[in-house]
Amino acid sequence: MGNYPSGPDAGAAELPRYASRGPARFLLHYIWRRPWSHLVVLLSMLSAVGCAIASQYAVKTLVDVLGMGTPTDGELWGTVAMLLGLVAGDNLLWRLAGWVATYAFVAVGGDIRLDLFGHLSGHGTRYFADRFPGALAARVTTAANSAWSIESSLVWNAIPPGAAVISSIAVLSVVDRQVTLVLFLIVSALGLVIARLAARGRHLHQRYAGRAAAVTGSLADVVANIGLVRAFGTAEREQERLSRDIEHEMSAQRESLRALERLRLLHAVSVFAVTAGVLVWSVSLWRAGAISTGDVVLTTTLGNTVLHASRDFAMAMVDLTQHFAKLGEAVQVLGLPHEMTDVPDAEPLIDLGGSVAFRGVCFSYPDGERVLQDFTLNIPSGQKVGLVGRSGAGKSTILALLQRLYDPDSGQVLIDEQDIAQVTQQSLRQSIAVVQQDISLFHRSVRENLRYGRPEASDEDVYRAAEAAGCTEFIARLPKGFDTVIGERGLKLSGGERQRLAIGRAFLRNAPIILLDEATSALDTESEQAIQEALVRLVKGRTVIAIAHRLSTLDSFDRILVLERGRIVEDGPSAELLRRKGIYSRMYLRQLTAPKHA
């Protein structure tokens, strides 16, 4: 099996190293995982090509035997048996290669998709912020499909004609070395010319691959936001925008295909000219008595084989250039090294209650101003803390740093006195349950979405979490209850129902730290009150950090932190901050006196 890792997890970990070596080395890594099945395919295919070429020599022998006038039964039927055996071997060996390839080639595509997804899921927030999610998903599929196309093209379209050319020239040398030498020189020159022209067109194929991925991403982006498109009546405008993108893609595809057609035309003209020359030369040698009738047949058929096989080989190599370009483009984007990785000796986070601390943290977003400057905060385990402040004050940044979506420029973020940069990211994720303002749900059943963060949870645990989050009432109204599939991103549910489902999922997670990012913003007053009551019961003994627009939802919290430009300007219980008549008090008063809209 070589020195490569054999499991998908190991493959994902090593992916940037072999992805950086180019698409050919990338694919070879996966072929090497299953060397024996690929070797069987290769040897079966080469043996089949050998039988095909040998059968042409058997035809030459049969023609010569028939030309003897009165061959013996042994000579005649022995030659027939040899020809039939070679034809049968040709067909059976191809079928053996095809049968084994159904396992080997498909498995390579599966390995590639698993490893690419494993690596993709480890990228940080910045990576996904700069790219279309749909285009990334499309590249995973494109890479696997391109790998399958490359293997198939090599085994069925490229290597067989290449082997046929070599075998045919070797057999022709038995008949006439001059014809063989001329054919060899012509084929070599033609192959070099086509290879050079194919290399010149490689950038056209790469440009087409990039534009195709961009169109896929743009289309997925529009479909994912189709509700927004309908709400603003911009379907026609989006279609025009997509039309421009598709036109650019089609233009690149036409240029790519035209480059291939020019090569095919060049080879077609060359094949006709050389075939005519070989035929005339062979007939001339026969008239001079230099070769037999069977030799004329063999020279003509093998000459055609050499020329057509060289054409097929050259065209297959050109097609391979396209597939390698697609694979290379996909792997180049998906195989980038992770921005944040576990340190070599990272240990799992040890749960000691869920205390949180920021020590001298400085942080800036790329190309942005400093968000946190020498930020220090200590939250004991089990404490409920609310974060309030104007937009841009640093509230979401604090939650992001705690989840290690970003690393601070300097300073430390600690959980239970453990630097989160020194522990495994997987264990960190398992210690935190998050309810975001923008709810993410899968196109799966209610039960699967609730159980997503804790797949081993019993049905009873799932029901208790749903009941505590106020979900059971609307779940009971669904056609199949907990087994109802809720659509992509939960579109079959209302905004409030989606948020309650997300809260139930976080409760079931049973993590020591809970992060709430505007977790009740989409709920009506009655539902919000029910959630607040549930929070009191379910967050007991856990550390809770919440961002809330409605300040009244933080009344029961132990501490409120008021942030301004990345600094804590007020810190204390809600009642105490209200008595101080400071920033929090003014914010609270504005919300109480703000006009209520129906």
Looking at residue 2, its pLDDT comes to 37
| 71 alpha carbon, distance to own chain's centre | 65
User: Is residue 597 pLDDT above 50, yes or no?
Assistant: no
What stretch of H or E contains 534? helix 525-538
DSSP letters spanning 316-382: HHHHHHHHHHHHHHHHHHHTPPPSS---TT-BPPP-SS--EEEEEEEEE-TTS-EEEEEEEEEE-TT
- What's the mean pLDDT in 300-312? 69
Looking at residue 248, its pLDDT comes to 80
Query: Could you tell me which of 201, 206, 303, 315 has the C-alpha nearest to residue 266?
Result: 315
- 349-358, 464-473, 576-585: least confidently modelled range: 464-473
Q: What is the pLDDT of residues 387-404, one digit of tens each?
A: 998 888 888 889 989 988
User: Is residue 369 pLDDT above 70, yes or no?
Assistant: yes
Query: Could you tell me which of 459, 573, 457 has the C-alpha nearest to residue 511?
Result: 457
- Give percent above pLDDT 90 in the chain: 8
CA distance 237 to 360: 49
CA distance 151 to 33: 14
Q: What domains appear along the chain, each with residue ranges and CATH number?
A: 8-334 (1.20.1560.10), 432-510 (3.40.50.300)
CA distance 543 to 293: 94
Query: Could you tell me which of 325, 200, 194, 323 has the C-alpha nearest to residue 267?
Result: 194
Q: Contact at 8 Å (CB) between 204 and 255?
A: yes
Looking at residue 394, its pLDDT comes to 87
Looking at residue 523, its pLDDT comes to 57
- What's the mean pLDDT in 175-183? 67
Q: What is the pLDDT of residues 232-283, one digit of tens each?
A: 667 777 777 778 788 887 877 777 777 767 766 776 677 667 666 666 766 6
Higher per-residue confidence, 446 vs 530 = 446
DSSP letters spanning 381-433: TT-EEEEEESTTSSHHHHHHHHTTSS--SEEEEEETTEEGGGB-HHHHHHTEE
DSSP3 helix / strand / coil % (the chain, rounded to 5):
65, 10, 25
Q: Contact at 8 Å (CB) between 583 and 562?
A: yes
Q: Contact at 8 Å (CB) between 393 and 564?
A: yes
Q: What is the pLDDT of residues 543-589, one digit of tens each?
A: 999 888 778 778 888 899 999 888 899 999 988 998 888 888 888 88
Q: Contact at 8 Å (CB) between 421 and 361?
A: no
CA distance 40 to 61: 31
Q: What is the pLDDT of residues 473-522, one digit of tens each?
A: 888 888 888 888 887 666 778 777 787 888 888 878 878 898 888 766 55
- 315-319, 417-421, 429-433: least confidently modelled range: 315-319
CA distance 420 to 221: 33
User: Is residue 344 pLDDT above 90, yes or no?
Assistant: no
DSSP letters spanning 3-36: TS--SHHHHHHHHHHHHTT-HHHHHHHHHTTSHH
User: Is residue 194 pLDDT above 70, yes or no?
Assistant: no
pTM exceeds 0.85: no
**Inter-axis angle of helices 293-334 and 8-19, nearest 10:** 100
- What's the mean pLDDT in 316-320? 75
Cα–Cα distances (Å) from 166 to 46, 294, 525, in that order, read 11, 21, 81
